[in-house]
Amino acid sequence: MKNTLLNKAALASGTVCLMTAMMGSAHAEPTGYDQLTFQTEIKEEIQNDEVRASLYKKAQATDSKPLATMLNTSVNNAMKIAKRYPSVTVSTGQQRTYPRYDKNDKIIGWTGQANIDLKSTDFSATSQLIADLQETLVMDNLNFGVSDTKKDALEQKLMTEASRAFQQQAKSLTRAWDARGYRVVNVNLNTGSNYPRPMYSAMSMKSGMADESVPSQSFESGNSTISVTANGTIELTK
């Protein structure tokens, strides 16, 4: 998939609140000048370059020991299959075991579940690995997002742009209030992300047929929106 940035949308907006020196500020002592608090925001849409998936094995037994053996064997076999795909990061996920009771609250057996988690920027390899694992495991969820490397690089760029937008807004407000200049009392930079919902869940996935291999799937990762806001207070000089 291409790791290109899409549809850049930069917004510099916010609510402006005038505070007099008598009201003070949470971050600075009153100095006799008016203070303005406002926010600017920069957003950019970016193509998701990372896929995450979770699959699980669920089993039942009359005793917890053979149940643990079944689950561990399934996970170990899955990890062996995953080694064929070095571009996919595989880790053991959640595991839980709980008793089953009869109508008299007597333990009559045990149910257990073990998960494995996948993460990769190689969509083709991940799709094929998921298909291989679905021969014995069930899909729990599948979703897409932005890798840390790509996200960090974009956030650094947006922080610079948000800071410049904050400065530009400060200059505009200074002119609007007929002030000679301003000084920054405080400013904070905050990042945010808007990721799409998981593509599939266990309720919507069919388990693989016993006599047929599961075909791999073509992924459409979609986009996410990364944003950085700069909010703070300036003090006007008359």
Instruction: Write out pLDDT tens, residues 51-66.
Output: 999 999 999 999 999 9
pTM for the structure as a whole: 0.71
Confidence label for 34 from pLDDT (cuts 50, 70 and 90) = confident
The pLDDT value given to residue 9 = 39
Q: What rounded mean pLDDT belongs to the chain?
A: 82
pLDDT at 16 > cutoff 90 = no
For the chain, the structural domain boundaries read 5-47+148-194+226-237, 50-145
The pLDDT value given to residue 145 = 93
Quick one: fold of 50-145? Alpha-Beta Plaits (3.30.70)
Which element (helix H / strand E) includes 128?
Answer: helix 123-133
Dihedral over alpha carbons 17, 23, 24, 26 (to 10 degrees): -70
Burial class (CB within 10 angstroms; exposed 0-12, middle 13-18, buried 19+) of 165: buried
For the segment 128-148, the average pLDDT, to the nearest whole number, is: 94
